[in-house]
Amino acid sequence: MTAQELSWFALWGATALYAIAMIASSIHLARVADAKVAAKKLAAVAAGDSGVGETGAAQATPASARIQVNDKANGIAKATTLVGALLQGVGVVARGFESGHVPWSTMYEYTITGTWVAVVVFLIVQRKRDVSYLAPGVTGFATIALGLGLTVLYAQSTGLQPALQSFWLVIHVSIAIIATGVFVVGAVATVLQLLRDYRDSGAGWLQRWNWLEATPSASKLEALAFRLNAVGFVLWTFTVMAGAVWAEHAWGRYWGWDPKEVWSFVIWVIYAAYLHARTTQGWAGRRSAYLSLIGFVALIMNFTVVNIVFQGLHSYAGV
């Protein structure tokens, strides 16, 4: 089996496993939510029978929120995510051997490496705390991104163009990939924060989504998203700085208003505004969440629209 075939089969295998993990984790989330809803109803009934008022029922709710659901779906989700990450890692490394250089010089390579980093970031966070409620979003994103990468963005391995034949490719793009992976997990947490916040505030169309009961409160989701986005911002800062240094080495200037440079800076500004607004201006809740999602949308546009539509010195980063 050649390196190309190994990479291809490993990445398709990872895609299939992530799809299974997405379904299994969604089932687990639904079961946890059902158990919590049932526990809250029992607590309310018990409080009413014992003559305890609403305060007593509210005190019983935190205990019910810690309920654990032992089901096979959770085990399947964790196992398939882990094995999928291992398979994807094999696929990424095999692509590197196939191409003879680090596997992040094209959109296809960036996609397979970036989604792998996002899953690894999720697994690292999962080791420190139970964030299984993020699993459907992370594995779902990985499934879609890998599927698009393998079918739409796939490109045969070729040698590096002269502009990319630099050690800065390893430094600059690798940091950008890690930052992107962190931002992906942070965006999933932010979306859940908004959904939970709107549901708790009585949004009618979300009242049917009982699975949101399996997620923490909106404030806890916001705190998690903030920490992830803060880490991603620091990494993106190094990305922009390393890109400027590389530009000076390659083109004799640190800044040239190239579309990729401009959008990378726009992303930095949006996330900087998000962190500043939340920490110093009191922009907690929905306003900061929307601002962080705007930053994530700009990140996706920088990878897709800027690479495909705009012509510039970074056009070699396209398909």
- State the angle between helix axes of 135-151 and 3-49 in degrees (0 to 180), rounded to the nearest 10: 160
Of 137, 159, 181, the domain-final residue: 159
**Highest mean pLDDT, choosing among 46-50, 58-62, 285-289, 315-319:** 285-289
Residue 187 is predicted with a pLDDT of: 97
Res 51 pLDDT > 70: no
Tokens of 192: 């859940």
Provide the domain limits for residue 253.
Answer: 172-319
d(CA 71, CA 69): 6
* Helix/strand/coil for 93: helix
DSSP-H helix ranges across 50-134: 54-65, 72-99, 107-128
Task: Give the residue from 136, 159, 182 where a domain finishes.
Answer: 159
Q: Is residue 167 part of a domain?
A: no
pLDDT at position 289 over 90: yes
Percent of the chain's residues with pLDDT above 90: 61
Give yes or no: residues 197 and 246 share one domain.
yes
Number of structural domains (the chain) is 2
Domain boundary among the residues 111, 131, 159 is at 159
